[in-house]
Structure 1
Amino acid sequence: MRSAHAIRRAMVAGMITMAGSSAAWGDEGEVGGFFSDLFARTTFVGTVRSDTAVRTTGLQNFYDQGNMPYQHTAVPRQAYLPPSLGSALLGTQVLPAATNWNIPIPNIGLHTNDTVRRDTYIKSDDVKVNYQELRFSGEMNMAFTDNLRFNVQARAVFDPDISNQFDARSLINTQGGIPGGGADRYADTGRPNYFEARGRNGRNLNPTEFAGRKYMVDFPTALLEYKHDAFNLRLGIQQIAWGQAIFFQTFDVPNGLDFRRHLVLDRAIEEFSDKRVPALALRGAWQATDEMLIDSYISKFQPSIIPNPNTPFNVAPAQFYKPLDNYFTGGYNNKLNFGIRMKSDYGNWGYSAMAASRYNPLGVFSWSESGINRGLHGTNADGSTWGNSLGTLVQTAYAAKAPVGGTLCPVYNPTTCRMYDSLGEALSHTPLTIAPAGVYSNKEWFTSAGLIRLDAVKMLNTVIQEYPALRDVYASEVSGIEEASNLLNTFFAASDGSIRGTIQRDYYRESVFGLGGSYVMETEDPGSFWNQFIINAEAQYTPNRRLTGTDLGHGGEKTNEYILTLVGEKWFRYTESFPAAYLAFEFQHRSATDLVGLNLNGYGGLMRSQPVEDPIGLQGNDYSHLKVAKGISSADYLAFAGFQPWPNRKYVFEWAVLWDVRGGVLAQPLVKWNPGHNVSVDFFYNYLNGHLYGNEGNNLIRVIDWADEFNIRIGYQF
């Protein structure tokens, strides 16, 4: 095997040979000298790594097909007479307008009363390995002069797809299969897509990323850096880190986060270094005095990236299509973020301030027109047909309405008029699509809404209010849980299976302001724990921040949010036999969102995630256990993290604990082993419990507490 020095000599020789063939560079000696000197000032570092996470409980991701709530439960569905249809058939004197979704349709050969089990259509998953990833990362640093350098980092990731999860093509002969259309549906109509992230029009959200279903190659950094005296300029693709807290972000606002690979369950102490979404930016820093630093940037807006449906760490119910991203179609790809930060020290005190104008990278999710034309009957790929008698009745009644604008219907009335030629065309102008592997019952609807912090009744009313085509097909607003359940089960029963939803993501500009301070404690006793203990406090205030509404309405909700963070740090040597340990104690208070930016108004809804028989005891039309989001006034988190090296530094013990004070905890103990020869091995465990006490719908951890897992990371640096 050739040595690294031999490879370098060969590369230098090749570069000199190619350069020497061009007379424009002068004679061979000058060219050779130039490139030899340049290569001598160039460093290369590479790492290959394998990450594996094996689940240690019977729970699996309940956002993905095959593991969803009610997967193994026979759920009753009863169809009810739509008020608008009832008014047309019986007249308003027999059926007063105030009556709403409370007259059951007798089961007289109309398929109006049934039970449904998801596992009748979708096989259950039994994935043992939550996460398996092979990765190469490399960095080249080329110093042209003492003042100018070029730095590039490359990352290649491959997922061998050993989890073998849900394949949408398996349902091609069920309810017509999962259709595409209306936009790029790259993540919905085939096998799980681990890495691609595209906009509604099919373009990659990250322009420096090259991804396929099982692989991704990207460049976290590719920049020129110029330093002169007290000035530093960086131009190119880069990540800008303005925060140091573990788990928490207060000042760290320049970049969005990439949640695709291992969500937030990687080595916690890495402080988002693998999660920040890189962006093209110009960053300038000025060391104004020995005590004062001014740092500013202007960058191209890049959004946060969420996992795709049916991937191991997906966090959105796969009964809905992957959100259609309006990054390109909304013109957000041409928007700029900019900000400035100041840090100053005065003795034991430190001060900081920042201001930024940015597009919130998480964005606002709302209902979206699907563009998929499919009615209540159809033909499968194998030639068989699907549909039931209730669906036939609804389509017949729709076809019997007069077209709007004709002599029988000069003015639109949804009771007697129709806007479209067919019910399928009408549905194409709504967010709802008749298709398998969607929502099958009212119970699923309320549970999924609770899991993603939405109000199940409000989001139903909003989709009816914002999309008139739904009123065209006999939907009408509801009042309360019972009416919502009756409407939902009527539509699900008529679909002869389930209905899928379509949502979209838009982005809104916000101004973010921050103030911070720090203090280094000193005591008379140098050995005291409190000597050199560092206290950091940061506060963020954002007026008129746009959040996803609990009703999925367009434009979301506006709120003024403040975030307060307090961090205590200490290097502490408790015995001469061991090196000093690093300790970090953290607290954060948030007034409007949780740690990942979700709206606190959506907390408190029904959250039953265990795929067991009848998990909440509902039988027939008993709605007593269903509930909608009530919201919480604020969120508070505590964290304790640190690491302790062994005397020979062959081992390092790390830990990170995040406690949601409303009843959830994430604990990550880790042992790093350095056996030598540039090899490192990390063993760590993720323990999550979101039902320690209190209402399980009121803490952040509950939505991911299925992910108890043992992790092993093996890396080699060359």
Structure 2
Amino acid sequence: MSLQRKRWIGAVAVLAASTATSTAVHAQGEMAGAVDRKLFGGDFSFNGQIRVETAFSTTGRASPANQRGLLTNGLALKRSAGNPVDGYNSTILPQAVTSIFDQTGLNLGAVLGGTPLGPTDGVSNQSLGGLSDTFTRYVPDAEQIVNYHLFRFEATPSINWGAWSLQTRIRATYDPGSLGYEEFNFNDYNDINRGFETGSRDAGRQYNGKPDYLGYEVDGKKDPLLFERSGKHYQVDLPAFFVEWTGGDMTVRVGNQSVAWGQLLFFRIMDQANGLDLRRHLFIDRAIEEFADERMSAPGIRFTWQATDQILVDAFAQQFIPTIVPNSNTTYNIVDSRFILHDNYFDGDYNKKFNFGVRLKAEFGNFNLQAMATSKLNQLGAIRWTKSNINKKLPDTNTLGLAFNQYCEGVLGSAAGQGCGPQLANTPFESGPAGLFTAEEWFDRAGYTKLDPLLGLANIVNEFQPTTGQLLTAAPTTAQQAYNELNAFFIALEGAHGHVERNYYREEVYGIGGGYVTEGEPGSLLDQLIINVEATYTPERAFTDIGLAQAPDRREEYQVGLVMEKYQRFSQSMPATYMVFQYLWQKESSLEGLLLDGYGSKAYSDVALQGRAVQLTNNVPVSSNPFARTGKEFTPGISEGANYVVLAALQPSNAYIFEYSFAMLIDVQGGVLVQPAVQWKPRGNMTVNLFYNFIDAEVWGGNANNSFLSFIDYADEVCLRLGYQF
């Protein structure tokens, strides 16, 4: 790195720390200092802004989906390998291990010579010939100080030639990375268990070295989006780049653009056209901005036709672009870092698919009606187990690993020195450092990700035959069987990484809506109250199966939303206050699009693991059979549908120098997100925003896994941003 670049990054760090700025662009806001002149025979206008954004953690916790935020880090857990002969109903005794493999035709006693191997990384108190031990996960915890900091430049040049115009918006962002973050580095573990090989099916940037903060790459393609180029620390894109023609009652836009239908804050009922980009600040920017910075754009065409004075027709056709989730080990990551997510957007030719939609909207006095139909690939997609395709044998440094490798070579016919590598390549698992080590972790991750731990293991066994059968696996029917079987293979693997893939499926979404503006005594709360109801029906939505089965789980999905909003003037000396109330009900899925069947798991929740950590601190022996304590309630689900409420208000001061806002998202299942905020404009071209995100997934007590907010329960933060407009 050059001295000049080091100095520049250092100056940026000082600026971030001193201003403590945060969050995202208010795309709907006015920009000061616009430039107007003639260019190419048209009227040229140009404005832009520079922002510095930072969010400081008030909990000090890293994401529980990341390597350095896992609650099992530094926690001693007992393991005992299960016995495949009796379907993993019992654990293996040392004198029985040779007879188990002898039944397959391999004289394991001669191979091992009766001498168990020494302990491996993280293992202590080894007993029973390496078939039972106490394991401590060796990845250190991290205290998170800075959740997010970003440097942003935006410009919106446009040229107008009467009926024709060119509208553009260019955005460039830079995340310096290690300045304030406690980063996990894959390269630090290359000397353990032959290192990571998880990037073999993709460009590899996300799973090599330090975290990939802003990049988006998919299997088979480094930069899959036409109007974006990105890397670990930068993103440059064109959220808007289209030609617009207006003639009479018709407007046509051709190019990269987004389509925003619907009127709800936090909720997206009619807003079906585009996915979200969650890489920068997830969805916890300033709430009043209504996904302005997150909504993706896509190349396409849009027609808007004012058919009559009352009826508007709006239609679009766009290239399909999926929702982009945060990358592994970044602050707001929600996909467990020990599971490698393969995005098939390019390899599956989904980039060649298109979304279509049409909406009719009519206004008759105080009433409005609308209806829409959309045919699209669901932007979230559905996730399932997939083959790792990584030929990497089990470690020979433990008794079971060595035994299985000899078995695969002597009985299954693997080439000498390859062990069980060819077989593992045909399963969703690979052996690697800093992976899954204990059955406790498996069950905990299932609860966290709203999946079923028994179905997940059973689907691996049943859907990757004959290989899984050859490796002596069995589909569990009880929690104890799964516990024993998982520990057997995690001991042998010395760290397991799971492989999953994301595919996208077409669905038809039909929506209707209606609104009414009330009339009452002038100045009263019931005067000019805007009430809108929106509802959608999807006959066959493809959801991620709660056991990650190969086929998605298809359901009829209903969404019903109510919004009531109003500008109310409480004082003649102050501008009107904007107030909004919203309610959303979804029949089958939660707000982030996962099936409610997977919610509510009580086994191995974060609370249980924290309790286990307290036991260790107090020198209380840890039980090797946790089911006696936690029970077997894995995925009871939420059968009555998901319910969400939003309350929000915005109050400007005189001359709009200050703007105070408040937003609250309530997950009736048990969580809450509260965001008080203030905006200050000391000058016309300068803006300072300060807000606080408070998140609690178990605010009424009970189980955090009942709420979708459990994914970000750690992310309480103070956010501050400084913007300069030109």
**Does the alignment reach a TM-score above 0.5?**
yes
Tell me if structure 1 keeps the 8 A contact 2:598–2:635.
yes
Aligned AA (2:717): E
Equivalent-residue separation in structure 2 for 1:108 and 1:593 (angstroms):
46
**The 10-residue stretch of structure 1 (688-697 or 236-245) with the greater mean CA deviation from structure 2:** 688-697
The alignment status of 1:674 with 2:674, answered yes or no, reads no
Tell me if structure 2 keeps the 8 A contact 1:688–1:705.
yes
In the other structure, the counterpart of 1:478 is 476
Aligned length, in residue pairs: 649
Tell me if structure 1 keeps the 8 A contact 2:35–2:47.
no
Residues 374-523 of structure 1: pairs in structure 2 closer than 5 A: 374-377=392-395, 387-401=397-411, 403=413, 422-468=419-465, 469-495=467-493, 497-523=494-520
Instruction: Describe the shift of the 1:420–1:292 C-alpha distance in structure 2 as closer, same or farther (beyond 3 A).
Output: farther
In the other structure, the counterpart of 1:410 is none
In the other structure, the counterpart of 1:642 is 649
Equivalent-residue separation in structure 1 for 2:528 and 2:416 (angstroms):
73
Aligned AA (1:709): E
Give secondary structure in 1 for the equivalent of 2:402: helix
In the other structure, the counterpart of 1:380 is none
Deviations along 1:493-538, whole A, 9 cap, x unmatched? 112x210011000000000000000011111x11210111011000
Equivalent-residue separation in structure 2 for 1:403 and 1:132 (angstroms):
53
The alignment status of 1:299 with 2:318, answered yes or no, reads yes
The alignment status of 1:702 with 2:721, answered yes or no, reads no
Tell me if structure 1 keeps the 8 A contact 2:74–2:140.
no
In the other structure, the counterpart of 2:13 is none
* Offset at residue 465 of structure 1 (A): 1.1
Equivalent-residue separation in structure 1 for 2:418 and 2:689 (angstroms):
61
Give secondary structure in 1 for the equivalent of 2:711: helix
* Offset at residue 202 of structure 1 (A): 2.9
5+ unaligned residues in a row in structure 1: which ranges?
1-5, 13-33, 93-105, 378-385, 405-417
Instruction: Describe the shift of the 1:659–1:581 C-alpha distance in structure 2 as closer, same or farther (beyond 3 A).
Output: same
* Offset at residue 67 of structure 1 (A): 1.2
Equivalent-residue separation in structure 1 for 2:514 and 2:420 (angstroms):
61
Deviations along 1:522-580, whole A, 9 cap, x unmatched? 11x11210111011000000011000000101121000000000000100001111100
Instruction: Describe the shift of the 1:367–1:42 C-alpha distance in structure 2 as closer, same or farther (beyond 3 A).
Output: same
Instruction: Describe the shift of the 1:89–1:108 C-alpha distance in structure 2 as closer, same or farther (beyond 3 A).
Output: farther
Equivalent-residue separation in structure 2 for 1:616 and 1:211 (angstroms):
43
Identify which of 354, 357, 360 aligns with 1:342: 360
In the other structure, the counterpart of 1:324 is 342
Equivalent-residue separation in structure 1 for 2:560 and 2:686 (angstroms):
40
* Offset at residue 470 of structure 1 (A): 2.1
In the other structure, the counterpart of 1:102 is none
In the other structure, the counterpart of 2:370 is 352
Deviations along 1:69-103, whole A, 9 cap, x unmatched? 211310111012223897764699xxxxxxxxxxx
Equivalent-residue separation in structure 2 for 1:608 and 1:58 (angstroms):
20
**The 10-residue stretch of structure 1 (174-183 or 510-519) with the greater mean CA deviation from structure 2:** 174-183
Aligned AA (2:245): Y
Give secondary structure in 2 for the equivalent of 1:614: helix
Give secondary structure in 2 for the equivalent of 1:218: strand
Equivalent-residue separation in structure 2 for 1:420 and 1:169 (angstroms):
25
Identify which of 116, 124, 127 aligns with 2:144: 127
Aligned AA (1:153): R
The structure number with the bigger radius of gyration is 1
TM-score normalized with structure 2 length:
0.86
Instruction: Describe the shift of the 1:108–1:135 C-alpha distance in structure 2 as closer, same or farther (beyond 3 A).
Output: closer
Equivalent-residue separation in structure 2 for 1:329 and 1:37 (angstroms):
44
Equivalent-residue separation in structure 2 for 1:685 and 1:293 (angstroms):
40
The alignment status of 1:114 with 2:114, answered yes or no, reads no
Instruction: Describe the shift of the 1:134–1:249 C-alpha distance in structure 2 as closer, same or farther (beyond 3 A).
Output: same
* Offset at residue 308 of structure 1 (A): 0.5
Aligned AA (1:396): Q
In the other structure, the counterpart of 2:215 is 196
Deviations along 1:195-237, whole A, 9 cap, x unmatched? 1111211332322111111000000000000000100000000
Aligned AA (1:152): T
Give secondary structure in 2 for the equivalent of 1:207: coil
* Offset at residue 630 of structure 1 (A): 1.6
Tell me if structure 2 keeps the 8 A contact 1:73–1:612.
no
* Offset at residue 403 of structure 1 (A): 4.2
Equivalent-residue separation in structure 2 for 1:675 and 1:107 (angstroms):
65
Equivalent-residue separation in structure 2 for 1:668 and 1:455 (angstroms):
33
Instruction: Describe the shift of the 1:402–1:124 C-alpha distance in structure 2 as closer, same or farther (beyond 3 A).
Output: closer
Residues 209-358 of structure 1: pairs in structure 2 closer than 5 A: 209-321=228-340, 323-358=341-376
**The 10-residue stretch of structure 1 (432-441 or 75-84) with the greater mean CA deviation from structure 2:** 75-84
Give secondary structure in 2 for the equivalent of 1:494: helix
In the other structure, the counterpart of 2:59 is 57
Tell me if structure 1 keeps the 8 A contact 2:412–2:470.
no
**The 10-residue stretch of structure 1 (172-181 or 439-448) with the greater mean CA deviation from structure 2:** 172-181
Equivalent-residue separation in structure 1 for 2:407 and 2:293 (angstroms):
55
Tell me if structure 2 keeps the 8 A contact 1:193–1:214.
yes
Deviations along 1:5-41, whole A, 9 cap, x unmatched? x9989xx9xxxxxxxxxxxxxxxxxxxxx84742xx1
Root-mean-square deviation (CA, aligned residues, Å) is 2.4
Aligned AA (2:410): A
Aligned AA (2:350): Y
Tell me if structure 2 keeps the 8 A contact 1:534–1:569.
yes
Give secondary structure in 2 for the equivalent of 1:648: helix
* Offset at residue 629 of structure 1 (A): 1.3
Tell me if structure 2 keeps the 8 A contact 1:419–1:472.
no
Equivalent-residue separation in structure 1 for 2:575 and 2:541 (angstroms):
45
* Offset at residue 700 of structure 1 (A): 1.4
Instruction: Describe the shift of the 1:393–1:36 C-alpha distance in structure 2 as closer, same or farther (beyond 3 A).
Output: closer
* Offset at residue 349 of structure 1 (A): 0.9
Equivalent-residue separation in structure 2 for 1:164 and 1:704 (angstroms):
17
Report the identity percentage: 35
* Offset at residue 615 of structure 1 (A): 4.6
The alignment status of 1:597 with 2:573, answered yes or no, reads no
Tell me if structure 1 keeps the 8 A contact 2:408–2:419.
yes
Give secondary structure in 1 for the equivalent of 2:254: strand
Tell me if structure 1 keeps the 8 A contact 2:454–2:482.
yes
Deviations along 1:372-398, whole A, 9 cap, x unmatched? 111112xxxxxxxx6212211222223
